[in-house]
Chains A and B, each alone.
Chain A
Amino acid sequence: MMKKSISFQLNKEMRTIDVSPNEGLLEMLRDRIGVKSPKCGCDRGDCGTCTVVIDGKTVRSCLVLAIEVDGSELTTLEGVMNQGQINPLQQMFLDKNVFQCGFCAPGMILSATELLEKHPHPTREQVQEGLAGNLCRCTGYTPIIDAVLEHGGCKGGCRE
């Protein structure tokens, strides 16, 4: 098995690393680069805790080979912070005490960020649909949905 040198941007920083073809992206990020915010919850694309952003789109990093991201731009939760400070969406989640165990939070925040880029003033259904790929067992989702709606400027949900 031939190792290959790949280069990609990770949270705006250029990274170069040798990978084996059978190395997973999630394992590479966590175990070799030390970025721990993407978590492993199911390892088969069902739970969304491993969500990262590749070239502007959220993906399940457990279903991507590391070698596939050669030449890509990657963002993890660490990359959506504002110069070391939490961003306004994170602040909303914090103030509203939306998360409990916090394990789903990194993936959930990235999915919510993508959703708000697509629909800055989302309806309740759009938020539910946008977050449906991120499983959470603690919160019953409602506080998360409500916080995203409030961030989008419409408490209870904007109209279409």
Chain B
Amino acid sequence: MAAAKGGAVSDELEKKIDFKVIGKSAVRVDGKAKISGAAQYINDLEFGPGLLFAEIVESPHAYARIKKIDTSKAEKVTGVVKVVSGKEFPFRFGLYMHDRYVFAQDHVRFVGEQVAAVIARTPAIAKKAARLVRVEYDVLEPVLDVEAALQDDAPLIHPELAKYQHVPWFFPKKNSNIAHFRKVRKGDMNDGFKSADFIFEDTYTVPRYAHCSIETHGAVGLFDHSRRLTVWAASQSPHTQRHLFAEALAPLGITHKDVRVIAPFVGGGFGGKAGVSMEILAAALATTVQGNPVKVMWSRAQEFYNTYQRQGVVAKMRVGVKKDGTITALEQKLHWDAGAYVEYGANVVNAAGLSATGPYRIPNVSIDSVCVYTNLPPGGPYRGFGYSEFIFGLESHLNEIAKKLQLDPVEFRLKNAIAEGDTLNYGGKMNPSGLQECIRKAAQEIEWGKKTVSSDPKKATGKGFALFWKAPAMPPNASSTAFLKFNEDGSLNVLVSAMEIGQGFLTVMAQIAGEVLGIPVEKIRVETPDTDRNPYEWQTVASHITWSTGNAVKKAAIDAREQIFDTVSRALGKDRDSLYLEDESVKSKREPAFGLKLRDFVINGIMMKDGTWRGGPIVARGMFMPEFASAISDPETSQGGKPNVHYTVGASAIEIEVDRETGKVRIPKVVLAVDCGKVLNPDLLKGQVTGGMVQGLATVLFEDMRFSDEGKLLNANFTDYKIPTAMDVPDEIVSIFVEHAQPDGPFGARGVGEHTMIPAAPIIANAIEDALGIRLKSMPITAERVALALLDRK
């Protein structure tokens, strides 16, 4: 059977065009649970009267040495079960680099860092007692700015950086605050700039952002009396969490088979619930109160200051260009404010560095993507994974260049847009891409070139355009697996460990299995995982799940199909090659009259004339790992290797109306055209476009994280960190799908979840420039900034 092998899936199904389930807007398999209130999230699970609650004692300082922790008063409070601090867990851990701790050890490195925890019988007691923990600090001068952190005399935030364990594709610089330096060199920069008629240089800045899932992080740990550790968590990464818990807590004698992670529905992820952040607390604290479950729920404020944040970046760029608009060279220096711990965030820096040209064919490239420690909360993955950040500067800058060359910004982009087979920054070849078509269709939909005029003289109108691309950022051996098992009535359970975080993953997996097996989606159950029962998955990140887990599910379905054919041909003597599946039955191309319902044999098998049985329960498996990928390349150039499995590309356009007095922007229409290969479920894809676009527009129009001069987050709530409401959405959001099949994707699909928010910032910046002639080079571009810029111009 071919199904269990790694590598790309190739199957006659790819050639099919009359799909029954694929490409249809199937109703979500989790829809009913979600609209009826039945869906359970971490905080909805019951743990009985033994449940304990933890309250965290946090650092009030951005950088300080811990002198003393006095827990004696807290311990005396009735109802307090245990007070725990760093000395119980002197272990370093992390996803890509081991640079963080369960609790702060000798130093705290950001405001809000966990220093100790009080475990008590009720949340109120825990909270009260946590206030009684006395911590003495030696306050140190924090480093809050990325450029300051890069100075030679800057205090070292991690003096032991050189000793930290990390993946082989990271390059930390010892005795500095540089945790990782991704260098990309392609072609010859001297030639590139020499052959240019003009060189344009500028700097763009992007602040930090928060995911703002409406559900905060939460986890419950139970270390039972048999010394097995179960953690229930709001998680995008159950298996990775299991691995990191087992790794971090190994000194306590815990092994992988002793650790189990159960992930209920997740109330929004956007990258924030990937990797391991606060969940380590539930795992570690559970080991201190053996036999009792202990819950750690983040408050909204903690959700802002002690989970991953989207990193800020200062992007300096130089672009060489010929008069006719051909880009000859691009130099990008990206300085990332990665925060106090970079175990995940450094890979954002890495991924952005590899792709910071955007989707353009540029022969000569120099990119420095620098991951810098600061005394701000840890940076990490956020929908877009570094691409939103550099695309803001890049697409703003290219628009300016087009304008200066008196070229149409869309024509300029068409001229330089990357195409299938073009050489990527690291030397590989570009995958199939409908970028040109996306550009043309987006331009047509927004009526590019047609100037609109507002009926209100106070209002200016403008249009903006930008391209985007993104590849999954993942280890080359990140893999997915699936189990399939039939039930007596021919219905099916699909067991996978990627997570439903709202994107519709469960539904799409049901569609894939259903298409292969001829079973309607309503007869397929796919649930969120338990690492004890469900097979391995790396993480639900990087927009790679539809592609990767989809491939695994498809292979598992093919495995099941082969078993079915095997049983039927063996028991009934049917010609195996003539068999096919349709309408929940096995049919034969040779015998149109033949039809055997799956429910008649997928559990109990087929009875022979002599009363014996053939077959038995159909249980199938599938696995996918991209065996062609490699992260190893020349550290000085990034050439060699194949770090990215594919890029998804597209174009976006917007029409705005801006009030010249108030600076307020109204959006009559926004368009996003994307080529994510075969569209598996148009409704769900449209949902990704609409939601991602609104989330992206908010980063440029309303949101940003504000810190005090002491490094304290000032807007750790929805009162002052403004995420959009139903009143703050564009009048019209148009999705356009261009379908150039991904050869190694399930039915030709590739990833799309993150991409839809990536172009939002530059389309606004470019439309404002078009409307008002003002170029704003730092985000966010709030009404206030627009209005004040207009006043300044007067």
Contact = CB atoms under 8 A, between A and B. Distances in A.
Say whether A associates with B: yes
Interface of A: 30, 34, 36-37, 39-44, 46-47, 49, 76-78, 81, 86, 90, 93-97, 99-106, 109, 127-129, 131-145
Contact of B37 (A78, A127, A138): A78
Interface stretch (B413-421, B496-504, B774-782): B496-504
Question: 4 smallest A-B Cβ distances: which pairs?
Answer: A102-B34, A103-B267, A100-B502, A37-B37
Contact of A76 (B37, B211, B724): B37
A140 B693 contact: yes
Contacts of B37: 36-37, 76-78, 105-106
Interface string B245-275: 0000000000000000000011111100000
A138 B25 contact: no
B215 A39 contact: yes
B170 interface: no
Given A47-B718, A101-B214, A141 B726 contact: yes
A76 B38 CA distance: 12
B86 interface: no
Interface residues of B, number: 55
Given A46-B717, A81-B36, A103-B267, A97 B729 contact: no
B152 interface: no
A140 B34 contact: no
B578 interface: no
Nearest to B40: A36
B725 interface: yes
B399 interface: no
7 contacts: A102-B265, A105-B34, A128-B725, A131-B726, A135-B725, A137-B214, A143-B686
A143 B726 CA distance: 11
Contacts of A49: 214
B41 A140 contact: no
B695 interface: yes
Contacts of B77: none
Contacts of A129: 726-727
B671 interface: no
B263 to A, nearest CB: 13
Contacts of B235: none
Given A41-B214, A41-B300, A90-B36, A137 B726 contact: no
A95 B39 CA distance: 17
Interface in B1-58: 25, 27-28, 30-37, 39-41, 43-44, 46
Interface string B705-744: 0000000000001110001111101000100000000000
A47 B303 CA distance: 14
Given A94-B28, A101-B268, 8 more contacts: A37-B37, A44-B718, A97-B31, A97-B687, A101-B215, A101-B267, A128-B727, A140-B692
Interface string B204-215: 000000011111
A30 B40 CA distance: 12
B214 A132 contact: no
